[in-house]
Amino acid sequence: MKLYFSPLACSLATRIALYEAGAEAQFVEVDGKTKRTSDDSDFQRISGLGMVPVLVADDGRVLAENAAILPFVADRFPAAALAPTDPEGRTRLHQWLSFIGTELHKTIFVPLLDETAPEAVKAYALARAPKRLDWLATKLEGRSYLLDTPSVADAYLFAVLNWSAVTAIQLRNWPALAAYMKNLHARPAFARAFEEEKALWIAELQRRGQPLPAIAV
Ligand SMILES: N[C@@H](CCC(=O)N[C@@H](CS)C(=O)NCC(=O)O)C(=O)O
């Protein structure tokens, strides 16, 4: 398997899932600006949208979209039990992957993180955050995971909520979310994936001569 990723992008979720599963995989870094890969390819030719994650399966199939790749990894490594297999559990998993992808990732965080987004767009996104994060916090109150056991949905939510550190969203305003993140970071696969990609992210900023945000130093 080969995962095309950018440091601390949403593709972190797939790395976490692969580590949770103890899977053998090759990781190819994509420069989000130039779209060149660490193995010297043009990523735009691999993914027409130029977006990570892209996963190349063992049989050569090229897969895209978090909501497709994450269950694929879970099913490929069933012993890790990273996704329910019963219809009710599977529906709940898809519900979470859809919520994270559409309501959090794209509605809130993409505009806040996009350097080219106008201030009015950022304000629009920020104004939508409390309702969604309040609701999420009620669902996570007293729980360690979105489902009964750790799943690929937790990996995706961890990758997305992690971005709050470089936005105006203060996770400490939602103690259930802050506790959830801390709990996940205590899992070796999450911590390993996060620390490895944080180091790569810092290296990328340094290569570009960009200042390091306070959380990186
Ligand atoms: N719908 C896609 C979105 C993936 C996505 O937003 N990827 C971002 C990083 S988190 C990306 O590659 N952005 C680069 C770009 O937009 O050029 C999915 O869920 O996989």
Give per-residue pLDDT as tens, 110-151.
999 999 999 999 999 999 999 999 999 999 999 999 999 999
- At residue 73 the predicted structure's pLDDT band, cuts being 50, 70 and 90, is very high
Q: Which pLDDT belongs to residue 216?
A: 61
State the average pLDDT over residues 164-182.
Answer: 97
Name the nearest CA neighbour of 217 among 205, 169, 157, 207.
Answer: 205
- The whole-chain average pLDDT of the chain stands at 96
State the amino acid at position 164 in one-letter form.
S
128 C-alpha vs ligand 1 centroid, how far in Å?
20
The verdict on the CB of residue 52 being under 6 Å from ligand 1 is: yes
Report CA 101 to chain centroid distance, whole Å: 9
DSSP conformational letter for 36: B
Residue nearest to atom 5 of ligand 1 (CA): 51
The verdict on the CB of residue 12 being under 6 Å from ligand 1 is: no
67 C-alpha vs ligand 1 centroid, how far in Å?
12
68 C-alpha vs ligand 1 centroid, how far in Å?
13
21 C-alpha vs ligand 1 centroid, how far in Å?
23
Give the strand pairing for 62-64 and 54-56. Answer: antiparallel
HEC sequence for 119-144: HHHHHHHHHHHHHHHHHHHHHHCCCC
Give CA separation, 203 vs 110, 183, 188, 191, 199, in Å: 22, 27, 23, 18, 6
Predicted TM-score of the model (pTM): 0.97
The verdict on the CB of residue 100 being under 6 Å from ligand 1 is: no
